[in-house]
Structure 1
Amino acid sequence: MRIVHSLAFSRARRGSIRAGASAGGGAGRWARATVAVLAASLALPALPAYAAPGIAQFGTPKYPPNFTHFDYADPDAPADGELVFQNYDQPQSYDSLNPFIVRGLAAPDIQNLMFDTLMQRSWDELASEYPLIADDVEVAADGRSATFHINPAARFSNGDAITAAEVKYSLDTLKSPQASPLFASQFAVIKDAVVLDRLTVRFDFGDASRANPLIAGDLPVFSPKWGVQPDGRRLPFDQIATDLPIASGPYLIESRKNDKTIIYYRNPKYWAADLPARRGMYRFRRITFKLYLDQYTKLEAFKAGDDDVDVEYSATQWARKYVGKNFDNGMLAKGMFREGPAQMQGFLINTREPQFQDVRVRHALALAFDYDWMNRMMFYGQYRRLNSYWEDSPFGATGVPSEKELKLLEPFRATLPPEVFGPMVRQPSTLPPNSLRGNLRHARELLAEAGWHFRDGALRDESGTPMRIEIIDDQPGMDRLIVPYTQALQTLGIDAHMRELDSALYQKRLDNFQYDMTTFIYPEVTIPGIELIRRFTSEAAAQVGSENYPGIRSKAVDALVHAAVGATTLDDLEAATHALDRVLINEYYLVPQYYMPHARIGYKTTLGHPNVVPVSYRYEDWVIDYWYRKPPRRTQTASSASSATAVH
């Protein structure tokens, strides 16, 4: 299973990115194609020019210019103590200190901890940003540029001032073939960065999308001195792997004993610690990451007290394994916390494979997944079924299409399943009066319509070629989900089996689209945006390392993504994503699985967290960025403590 951190509007900081095995010239082609998609937007109405410390994509920012901290931050929380964390983003090892390139696996959470962005996203709004490296932004009246002023106090960890030149260098580097193509795509909306003076930089955009200034605000900033060798020679950016970063963020690397452990320490000279967007954030003096080979070992390490936090993704583990003496004596606790919009998780179907190009085949594969039995028998009823790419979000489709949705969909009616134009479909159920047997019977009918018939002991096409499906994964324990599914597929005569791979090989095959099916998670976003291009457009389908893993090539999808990215009002954006949701769901590019309505976190009771839980957040991010170590309890009065000391 693989989670990709969205570079768009999913959270206040940018997660580490895994991309393709080779950026090469393809990144540039993909970036140009992205610009072409955006530039194809209809002329947008002019926006009022404004200058403000905070910006919002729609409406006005929640927090006023004089705000002191985010509501979900505790500025009075202790800023001492240590955090020992486990696997971050699933890798079992790392071999790079550069989170911006394709080569290698980056150290856990290094981008968040060591590289600040121009602006800080808030976690309780759809899309708003507040000052960080930049202390002011002015958006042009025509919406085609935004000018950022750099805080004169902004510094890199080596003491150098952060200036407009470093901001331009960071953008140019991330858009170059030496960086991951995901960054080239993310910032493709920016045509150029123009240095106006030492502390002022203007970003010119390819169109007037309201998202563009916020995308520019997401730019991580790093020093051009990073990678310069003692002899003055500068390494090419894609070869900077083990050189210690010159950080713009709050933490530095203290030590890294091997490829499974890394220790960060908070920079005592971090210049932004008292900014409103940073108050109550990064409260640990030292953060240690330990990478375990499997979820069972890391759980036992947590239960033994070796680690401070365990974010749990297994329903069985949560229901049965979070017990023992350290839970009984109060050293450990387990908590369930409110979650925001759901993330889309499912069995990706690689439509680049000829056997999956007929939507009836993909629909049949969806019918074979018995979610209700799994949730009842294996997941202790902890999950809910996914019926949308934006579940529990205003951007997910419900009911029948609105007039605005139909206007977007109608030009493609002849090429779309008729179900797109009816009530939003719900995923197959096996609850009475339905059953898996009935669903498989329907699946067999769909396969027959698509030319697949059972003969000579297998499901075969007209040429006699049997259908074979390999489902790959790199996570121990996923067999509990995959094996029952392959058994249902085998009932249909499909030669289906699971193959478990190590993380490196799995990632290579994923990046190069060398798989039939795999479980994948698209993280939730508070507001859909530029990530739609990477995930769903035809151009991205051909780009190694893109997030269009199903290989979607659809003029309808391209047009709907274009409508969403170019939306000028929230109502227009919702209409576009509703229509897009209907197409994606009814084309069965993946088999939707389920989502957790609550975060499940085991933790030492010596840790505390703010009382206000963010609206949208990733569990690991919340712990690392906003939790803290409680001060030791005073169990004696000062006089009795003195007496006790005297006795000893």
Structure 2
Amino acid sequence: MLPTRLAALILAALLAVAPAAAQDAAPKVWHHGSTLMEKLKYPEGYKQFDYVNPDAPAGGEVRLSSMGGFDTFNPILPAGEPADGLGLVYETLMTPSLDETSTSYGQLAEALSWPDDYSSVSFRMNPRARWADGQPVTAEDVVWSFHKLVELNPNYANYYANVTKAEVTAPGEVTFSFDQTGNRELPNIMGQLLILPQHWWEGTGPDGKPRDIARSTLEPPMGSGPYKLVSFNAGVSITYERDPNYWGLKEPFNVGQNNIQTLKYEYYRDDTAEFEAFKADEFDWWDENVAIRWQNNYDFPAVKDGRVVKELFENPYRDNGVMVGFVPNLRRPLFQNEALREAMLYAFDFEELDKLRFFGQYDRINSFFYGTELASSGLPQGEELDILNSVKDLVPPSVFTTEYKNPVNGDPTKLRASLRTANEILTKAGYTLQGTQLLDPAGQPVTFEILLNGPVIQPIATAFVTNLKRLGMNATIRTVDSAQYIERVRKRDFDVIYTGWSQSLSPGNEQRFMWSSAAADQDDSSNYAGIKDKGVDALIDKVIFADDRATLVAATHALDRVLLAHHYVTPTYTLRKSRIARWDRFSHPDQLPEFSIGFPTVWWYDEAKAAKTGAAKN
């Protein structure tokens, strides 16, 4: 392989003597940002994002927590547990604004261009972009990063499956060619590409040995981002510090951001111990995920005297749909029977849990895009109906006649009625009871394990299991630590897990990663259930190739409706707000970004507040 600089010179020479026809090709139209919505909010030459304080002081420290551990600083490998915070070190071609959805602006690339048919996208590199060692970030780095990502990680290979070629097409310019046209999302997707320094990864480490991007490593990485990894205790803690020589310090996408001098991550193995550590002022920020704890356990002195602030933020959910629930593994023959999956739905008593444990904080989920305009409702009509009719032979007939509804329980009478309905579904499908044990149509006991990642969901799963046993299903619960849970999910070594999916307001290629037949056979995909359905595959393509917003919404409604009809998940509940407790040492702009809390990115360390709260414990 030629050295990258020599290759670039040869390419430039070839371009200089290109045939006349190529030289006469229509010039590229360059854009400073891209969006899947109607238009960009910020014009070319914008000075800063509206939600930042350009005069925010720099300094101070934020201590954050994380569950589990880490064993690698390599950000691209599918195996292992990458450390938190690597996004502080590395950057992407484009960066999102936090007050728009599905929108990004130039970062390592200063502009992008695409033809009318979206058959490719080109990025023009920002000539000011530098790695932490001062070397420029090049188009060659981009091509190398792309090839390594798809070579080493099946997730990226799937996400970028439509890219047929990545090449340097001019000095400082990289172009990605696609195998299809009409996919408006592909330019945005390529702008999310993580860029790694080729010269560093192909260089020699401090141990005198060549580095290897294909291997795990705990050598602190070098990137182009605003922070450097300065110290760590393997699997226990990591410290990042603000890089005073960061190339993007005064770039408009960074003005008023990354104000904290030091960011520390401390790892915990147990949720209860983690919360006790927060109460003891061992870290600063707590995102509460247990309703009963939010209701009852914030009576400690620091809350009473105002040193710890409790606050609800709805910002992160304004452009975010969600599905959460118990997910059966269809790779197990037991769960390939749709009747069993449907019967499980009737055993989940949300209303009783809401009274006893949730204190009215949660809503029941009834869509894979819950909380957004993309969620289906009622019966299909208009363009959605047309789309469903176009795949009529591939989808359940019920989607045309029956609106999806969760059972409503909450008292013994209603629950008994739900369980009777479940029994009727099972009996009709050939299931029988032998004493208290449910047998499948082949006469085999219905026995399975619910795998949980830690103890938080255990009370919820226990209530679910109690009702499943009333149907004759011998369900058990196994709670494991994060590392074991991740490994078992990767290997698809589970019967049922409790998990979820987050959705943007502009669904596209990632839907393949979540639900497609191809993704079912990929160990690291988000198709946890192992869905293989031709109707779902067809509707995913309808979503991806929607040529306007109205069609995108209609196609997503249709996809949602079919996913629900197959009962791939027993939906549970969600809160459309973040419950945040924090030690009161930080301030933020008067107006936070529309779609994010922005912590710690647009916040800053407030010396006056810190003086009142007291020095952080280390």
TM-score by length of 2: 0.90
Distance 1:542-1:48 versus aligned 2 partners, 3 A rule: farther
Residue identity in the other structure for 2:82: A
Match of 1:191 in 2: 164
Which residue matches 2:190? 216
Distance (whole Å) between structure 2 residues aligned to residue 304 and residue 139 of structure 1? 53
> SS where residue 93 of structure 1 aligns?
coil
Give CA deviations for 1:499-545 in whole Å, capped at 9, x if unaligned: 01122221121112121111002123232111101110001111121
Q: Within the alignment, does 1:335 sit opposite 2:314 as a pair?
A: no
Distance in structure 1 (CA, Å) of the matches to 2:549 and 2:442: 50
Q: What is the aligned counterpart of 1:95 among 55, 59, 71?
A: 71
Question: Structure 2 CA distance, aligned partners of 1:606 and 1:139?
Answer: 45
- 2:434 aligns with one of 429, 436, 455: 455
Task: Return 5+ residue gaps in structure 1 as ranges.
Answer: 1-46, 637-648
Q: 1:284 aligns with which of 247, 253, 260?
A: 260
Residue 445 of structure 2: aligned partner: 466
Asked if the contact 2:520/2:528 (under 8 Å) is kept, the reply is yes
1:477 matched to 2:459? The reply is: no
1:493 is the counterpart of 2:437: no
The residue type equivalent to 1:147 in the other structure is S
Residues 342 and 595 of structure 1 are in contact (CA less than 8 Å); yes or no, is this contact kept in structure 2?
no
- Structure 1 distance, partners of 2:65, 2:72, is 18
Measure how far apart 1:245 and its partner are. 1.4
Going from structure 1 to structure 2, the CA distance change for 1:611 and 1:586 (only over 3 Å counts) comes to farther
**Within 2, Cα distance between the matches of 1:277 and 1:609?**
17
Q: Aligned equivalents of 1:469 and 1:632: distance in 2?
A: 56
- Show the counterpart of 2:96: 121
Q: Which residue of 2 aligns with 1:306?
A: 282
Could you give the per-residue CA deviations for residues 278-335 of structure 1, whole angstroms, max 9, x where no partner exists? 2222111110000111111111111111211111111111111122111122211110
Q: Secondary structure at the match of 2:511?
A: helix
Q: CA deviation digits over 1:398-434, x for unaligned, max 9?
A: 2221222222222443453333113531211115797
Aligned to 2:4: none
| Contact 1:419 1:425 survives alignment (8 Å) | no
Which shifted more, 261-270 or 316-325? 316-325
Greater relative CO (CA pairs within 8 A, separation 6+) = 1
Matched residues in 2 for 1:442 and 1:635: separation? 61
Could you report, residue by residue, the CA deviation over 1:149-172 in whole angstroms, capped at 9, with x for unpaired residues? Answer: 111110011111001111111111
In the TM superposition, structure 1's runs of 4+ consecutive aligned residues that sit over 4 Å from their partners are 230-233, 431-434, 633-636
The structural deviation recorded for 1:631 is 2.9
The residue number in structure 2 matching 1:36 is none
Correspondence for 2:20: none
d(CA) in 1 for partners of 2:90 and 2:124? Answer: 18
Report what 1:520 is aligned to: 499
Aligned-pair CA distance for 1:366: 0.8
Q: Does 1:531 align with 2:514?
A: no
1:257 deviation in Å? Answer: 2.2
* 1:200-233 deviation per Cα after TM superposition (whole angstroms, max 9, x unaligned): 1112122221111111111111101333325875
One-letter amino acid of the counterpart of residue 188, structure 1: A
Measure, in 2, the Cα distance between the counterparts of 1:578 and 1:462: 34
Task: Name the SS for the 2:239 alignment partner.
Answer: strand
Alignment TM-score, normalising by the size of structure 1: 0.86
Q: Distance in 1 between matches of 2:120 and 2:327?
A: 38
Q: In the alignment, what sits opposite 2:120?
A: 145
Asked whether the equivalents of residues 75 and 279 of structure 1 are also in contact (C-alpha less than 8 Å), the reply is yes
- C-alpha separation in 2, matches of 1:232 and 1:136: 39
Q: Distance in 1 between matches of 2:593 and 2:405?
A: 29
Secondary structure of 2:503's aligned partner? coil
Deviation at 1:554, TM superposition (A): 0.7
- Whole-Å separation in 2 of the counterparts to 1:588 and 1:48: 50
Alpha-carbon shift at residue 132 of structure 1 (Å): 0.6
Instruction: State whether structure 2 residue 329 is matched by structure 1 residue 350.
Output: yes
Partner of 1:172: 147
Q: Cα RMSD (Å) of the superposition? A: 2.1
Question: Which residue of 2 is the match for residue 579 of structure 1?
Answer: 558
Give the C-alpha shift of residue 442 in structure 1.
0.3
1:118·1:132 contact (CA, 8 Å) conserved in 2?
Answer: yes
Question: Structure 2 stretches of 5 or more lacking a match?
Answer: 1-25, 613-618
2:40 is the counterpart of 1:61: yes
Deviation at 1:626, TM superposition (A): 2.3
Q: Deviation per CA, 1:423-448: give whole Å up to 9, x if none.
A: 53121111579711111110011111
Q: Does 1:374 align with 2:353?
A: yes
